[in-house]
Amino acid sequence: MEEAMLGKAHFVLVHGSCHGAWSWYKVKPRLEAARHRVTAVDLAASGVNLKAIEDVRTCDEYSKPLLEIVEHFPSKEKLVFVGHSFGGLSLALAMEKFPEKISVAVFLTAFMPVTIHCPSYVFEQAKF
């Protein structure tokens, strides 16, 4: 019987800016206690990722650790994404590149960008 039928999922947790995978330290064990699989990722220049933020030039570079994780998951496996704050940008990029691998994405007080525009597009369109 498939895991989806048993109510189990594989969650991929994506932190916001100025955070790391550590920010999910209360959520991750609760999901695991409910018998879900959980992957918390450190994006570029975040958490234990040693890349310097000055060396991160694009959103793709910032999201590369997430994109590499998703790329190597089996195609038949559907993931549940949860992204906080600026992590929503990385979710959107991964959803665009790997739509067949994602079951659902939760944008937890997160950016929900249109990935064909530059990151500042949302702010440029806002009428303050």
For residue 61, report the phi and psi dihedrals to the nearest 5 degrees. Answer: -65, -45
Is the pLDDT at 4 greater than 70? The verdict is no
Q: What is the pLDDT of residue 68?
A: 96
DSSP string, 9-37: -EEEEE--TT--GGGGTTHHHHHHHTT-E
Is the pLDDT at 14 greater than 70? The verdict is yes
- CATH number of the domain that residue 16 is part of: 3.40.50.1820
Is the pLDDT at 50 greater than 90? The verdict is no
**What average pLDDT does this structure show over 80-96?**
94
Is the pLDDT at 65 greater than 50? The verdict is yes
Structural domains of the chain, count:
1
Q: How far apart are CA 41 and CA 91, in angstroms?
A: 12
